[in-house]
């Protein structure tokens, strides 16, 4: 169907929301993005964009074949926590290189591309209510201002306020895992930079370089049950971080020693949404399929969603059939990737004999392990 003149409202100015807005605007729609934050501050830290996400960024003309702000990855090295001993080295995906981005850099690229395309981006706009009409959807903002659109895309994150209009109330489940996030200045550039996954009992640390290797990104996951406050940017104590990973040796110990500011993120799990759309509104990204960060696919899934959503309007003559096709195309893949991420959460934290056996197996099959996930990395929704 032709989108010329149709009015779309995207709620959420994150990676998925901006990508969807750009893809729809490029097809002739009139798109407005609403973001509750008053400013697009430099939040978050590193993101891994594997080939299945990079193909969308290229198709949207956001990045080139050799992205300027992305740090190319040459694979992953697996290490033991005690002294940093190398267990195995995993090559990059066969489908193409992964790139490491600072979240703020990728958001800035998408933001500029959306504005250049004509997307209207409004900050400090918090949706208070959603009303459905026969041929339109009405958003009511906290200011009391109403606004009607032909279609609303809810890309407002894992704690989406709009998801409940399609799926009712849901109670998230605490995974008993806490993620520490930090970045530190870095000067030890490598010719072929890699991510490092350092695994220990009930804990693991992921590190990889950002911004031409001038920063090192740190994500440290630990299992604990003494804190269950949901949120992804709570201030943490760097000394507490070091104490909780005090038995980690090798390079990780040196990296953690330089952390001056850290944030905590309690990992809660919501199921993949049962219902993604109703013919006038659709969920996208974490609002549809919040996932644990153990496959590094949150941003990539949102990018895939954005492209498939827009493409479905090319292939169908009515709004309702296009959104139904989007849901049918995306739901099975999202469920499979979310399940794979949950399985990795267990595999990274093995203890005792199971950990030793797993390390022996990884030392043998590690160089071939990436093939196991080519169904993720090699999937090109733009093809």
pLDDT digits (tens, 9 = 90+) for 326-359: 999 999 999 999 999 988 777 677 677 666 676 6
Q: Residue 372 has what pLDDT?
A: 85
In a domain, 157, yes or no: yes
| Each residue's pLDDT tens digit, 264-289 | 988 988 899 999 999 999 999 999 99
**Rounded distance between C-alpha atoms, residue 185 and residue 288, angstroms:** 35
Q: Residue 38 has what pLDDT?
A: 84
In a domain, 68, yes or no: yes
CB 368 within 8 A of CB 322: no
Of 81, 99, 100, 208, the active-site residue reads: 208
In a domain, 179, yes or no: no
Q: For the chain, give the percent of residues with pLDDT over 70.
A: 91
Q: For the chain, give the percent of residues with pLDDT over 90.
A: 77
Grade residue 219 by pLDDT with cuts at 50, 70 and 90: very high
Give the residue, 149 or 5, on which the prediction is more confident.
149
User: 42 pLDDT exceeds 70?
Assistant: no
Q: Tokens at residue 204, please?
A: 């693991």
CB 16 within 8 A of CB 306: yes
Q: What angle do CA 71, 76, 77 make, to 5 degrees?
A: 130
Give the residue, 367 or 215, on which the prediction is more confident.
215
Grade residue 43 by pLDDT with cuts at 50, 70 and 90: low
How many domains does the chain divide into?
A: 1
Q: Residue 39 has what pLDDT?
A: 80
**Rounded distance between C-alpha atoms, residue 338 and residue 272, angstroms:** 8
In a domain, 161, yes or no: yes
Dihedral angle at the C-alpha atoms of 322, 325, 331, 336, nearest 10 degrees? Answer: -130
Q: Look up residue 287 and give its DSSP letter.
A: G
Radius of gyration, CA atoms only, the chain = 21
Q: Residue 222 has what pLDDT?
A: 95
**Rounded distance between C-alpha atoms, residue 15 and residue 277, angstroms:** 20
User: 230 pLDDT exceeds 70?
Assistant: no
Q: What is the mean pLDDT of the chain?
A: 92
In a domain, 103, yes or no: yes
Q: Residue 57 has what pLDDT?
A: 98
Query: Looking at residue 310, which CATH number applies to its domain?
Result: 3.50.50.60
Q: Residue 200 has what pLDDT?
A: 92
In a domain, 352, yes or no: yes
Domain span at 82 = 7-171+270-377
Q: What angle do CA 300, 302, 304 make, to 5 degrees?
A: 70
Q: Residue 67 has what pLDDT?
A: 85
Among 21, 9, 282, smallest CA distance to 140 is for 9
Of 13-27, 219-233, 367-381, least confident by mean pLDDT is 219-233
| Each residue's pLDDT tens digit, 171-204 | 888 988 999 999 999 999 999 999 999 999 999 9
Q: Residue 368 has what pLDDT?
A: 67
The DSSP result for 135-201, as a single string, is S-EEEEETTS-EEEESEEEE---TT-SSTHHHH-----EEEEEEEEEEEEE-----SS--EEEEEET
User: 158 pLDDT exceeds 70?
Assistant: yes
User: 369 pLDDT exceeds 80?
Assistant: no
In a domain, 184, yes or no: no
The phi, psi pair for 256, rounded to 5°, reads: -65, -30
In a domain, 107, yes or no: yes
Q: Residue 40 has what pLDDT?
A: 76
User: What is the average pLDDT across 293-317?
Assistant: 96
Q: Residue 126 has what pLDDT?
A: 94
Answer yes or no: 74 catalytic: no
CB 196 within 8 A of CB 76: yes
Grade residue 105 by pLDDT with cuts at 50, 70 and 90: very high
């Amino acid at each position: 169907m032709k989108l010329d003149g149709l009015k779309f409202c995207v709620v959420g100015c994150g990676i998925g929301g901006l990508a969807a807005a750009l893809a729809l605007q490029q097809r002739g729609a009139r798109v407005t993005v609403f973001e509750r934050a008053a400013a697009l501050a430099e939040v978050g830290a590193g993101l891994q964009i594997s080939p299945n996400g990079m193909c969308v960024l290229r198709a949207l003309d956001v990045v080139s074949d050799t992205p300027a702000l992305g740090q190319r990855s040459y694979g992953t090295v697996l290490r033991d926590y005690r002294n940093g001993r190398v267990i195995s080295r995993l090559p990059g995906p066969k489908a193409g290189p992964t790139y490491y981005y600072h979240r703020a850099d990728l958001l800035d690229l998408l933001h500029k591309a959306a504005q250049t395309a004509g997307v209207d981006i409004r900050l400090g706009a918090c949706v208070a209510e959603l009303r459905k009409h026969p041929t339109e959807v009405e958003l009511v903002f906290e200011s009391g201002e109403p606004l009607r659109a032909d279609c609303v895309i809810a890309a407002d994150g894992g704690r989406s306020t709009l998801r409940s209009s399609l799926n009712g109330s849901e109670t998230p489940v605490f995974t008993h895992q806490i993620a520490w996030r930090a970045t530190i200045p870095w000067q030890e550039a490598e010719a072929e930079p890699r991510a490092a996954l350092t695994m220990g009992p009930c804990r693991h640390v992921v590190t990889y370089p950002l911004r031409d290797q001038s920063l090192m990104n740190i994500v440290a996951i630990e299992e604990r049950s003494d804190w269950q406050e949901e949120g992804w940017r709570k201030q943490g104590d760097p000394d507490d971080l070091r104490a909780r990973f005090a038995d980690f040796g090798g390079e990780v110990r040196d990296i953690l020693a330089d952390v001056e500011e850290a944030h905590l993120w309690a990992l809660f799990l919501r199921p993949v949404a049962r219902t993604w759309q109703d013919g006038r509104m659709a969920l996208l990204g974490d609002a549809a399929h919040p996932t644990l960060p153990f496959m590094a696919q949150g941003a990539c899934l949102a990018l895939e969603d954005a492209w498939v959503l827009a493409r479905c309007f090319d292939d169908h003559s009515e709004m309702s059939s296009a959104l139904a096709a989007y849901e049918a195309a995306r739901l099975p893949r999202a469920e499979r990737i979310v399940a794979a991420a949950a399985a990795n959460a267990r595999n990274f934290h093995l203890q005792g004999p199971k950990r030793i056996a797993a390390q022996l197996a990884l030392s043998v099959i590690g160089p071939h392990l990436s093939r196991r996930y080519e169904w993720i990395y090699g999937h090109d929704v733009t093809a």
